[in-house]
A and B are shown apart, each in its own frame.
Chain A
Amino acid sequence: MLSDIKYYLTISFPTLSILFLIFINIFVSNNFFDFGQLFVFQAIFFWILYTPKLLPLYIILIAGILQDIIYLSPIGSTALIFLLLVFLFDKYNKLFLEPSFVDLFTTFIILFIIGTIAFWGLNSFINLGFLPLRINLVYEILLNLFFFPVNYFVLHIFYKKLNLEIKKYKRNV
């Protein structure tokens, strides 16, 4: 019984970490740093890279919808951007055999910038007019890029400690 709970908690870790980052972004970081709504993509990027089976698309959809509900964005808009970025990453993933961390960081930078522009475009489209582009948007991108290695490193530690690579294939290992 206890091992079952432990197992399910472990395989839910990618989802739990995403929820945790959503809450951190709302309740803690917004008072100090403005990471923006795409902050959670850092975790999605990591888990899609290492354990895509533990992060199905419907979880990404739910995470996006949850953010939209909290931030009063049109429901589905953040989820659409996340799905678009995961789709692009899926295509990129096949091009490289063994990417280094620098390759991944570069990919993240490109994807994050694409995501920010797409999000601005989508919001402008919904509001039927171009929304102003401010310098804060650049700060937001830079802040996310600065924190990406930190997040990546922390999630990597959990990934190794929890043996998620093995657990995604076999139960009770």
Chain B
Amino acid sequence: MNSFLNLKIRNKRNLFSNYSFVFFIILSMLLIFFDVKKIISSTFIRSKIINSTFHTRDFFISNLPNINKLKLLFVSKEELALENKSLKQKIEESSLYRLKSEKLEIENNILKQELSLLPAVLEDYILVKVTADTQTHYNKSIIISAGKNMNVRKGDAALTYKGLIGSVIEVYENYSRVLLISDINSRIPVRVGEKNIKAIITGNNTDKIELLYLKDNVVFKENDLVYTSGDGGYFNSGIPIGVIKKENNSVYIDSLNDLSEIQYINIYINQFKNF
């Protein structure tokens, strides 16, 4: 304990030579430059490293004793009965929502056919788990448990039942990376409110999403819904994103999802076939 509090550093010379420092600092700066200017294809390197990293993690997790199974041994009958009751209730609720959504889908398809405006939309989606939340102050992205193995492609929309959360920007073998709508590099064409005002939304690494490229003198109402426009072939149109909020004469979008608490998401696959 004494040595912990009063350590003696014997070597008072330089820990590393100045040349090594200069070399490695220049190397780091070159790497940043090459990556930012996209001179090197970092996707390939990221793909290999993320796959091996997550395989290592899965290997360790699969070999750990299953604590949940042990926990079950200590659950009382009363708790099981309560859990059973709540699960039954959830099933009833979800089947009700399913019925409602099926009814709406049929109605929607009939109306579309009557109007003869759009062909029937292919909406294949997969439910995936968020494997790692890699959000930092400077990057807002998550890694999900589906990649080329599940036909996920770059540009696919990622959403929950509440609305859009982002788009797939990198696809690996068994994993993909989703760039969230709050990221500073995210750009999504949208329409706002009942007047269908066109805009582009971008993140600024905070919870407040900004609107870009608006016409002059555009007025928004508080709680106007913002949804994807489908312009430029990005996403299906009409996916809700958030609502308009006003604060000190400025307008921002409040996402419908809590982007810091995402666990499961849907990925719309093959959406580009719709265009």
| Residues of A near any B CB (own CB < 8 A) | 23, 26-27, 30-31, 36-37, 48-50, 52, 57-58, 60-61, 64-66, 69-77, 79-80, 83-84, 86-87, 89-90, 93-94, 96-101, 104, 119-120, 123, 126-127, 131-132, 134, 136-137, 140, 153, 156, 160
Does B12 sit within 8 A of A, measured CB to CB?
yes
Residue of A23, A74, A100 touching B32 (CB-CB under 8 A): A74
B138 contacts A93, CB within 8 Å? no
Chain B contacts for A31, CB-based, 8 A: 133
Q: How far is the CA of A18 from the CA of B49 in the complex (A)?
A: 17
Given contacts A73-B139, A74-B32, 8 further A-B contacts (CB under 8 A): A26-B132, A30-B133, A61-B24, A61-B27, A70-B53, A72-B177, A83-B28, A156-B4
Which 6 A-B residue pairs are closest in the complex by CB-CB distance?
A: A76-B31, A80-B28, A76-B28, A75-B35, A123-B138, A76-B32
B contact set with A: CB distance below 8 Å? 3-9, 11-16, 20-21, 24-25, 27-32, 34-36, 40, 42, 45-46, 49-50, 53, 57, 132-139, 141, 177, 184-185, 204-206
List 26 contacting pairs A-B, 8 Å CB cutoff, sorted by A: A23-B57, A36-B136, A49-B9, A52-B11, A57-B21, A64-B28, A66-B49, A69-B42, A70-B50, A70-B134, A71-B136, A73-B136, A73-B139, A75-B35, A80-B25, A80-B32, A83-B28, A86-B21, A90-B21, A93-B9, A93-B15, A100-B6, A101-B7, A132-B204, A134-B206, A156-B4
A interface SS class: helix
- Residues in chain B near residue A48, CB distance under 8 A: 15
Which B residues touch A74, using CB under 8 A? 32, 35-36
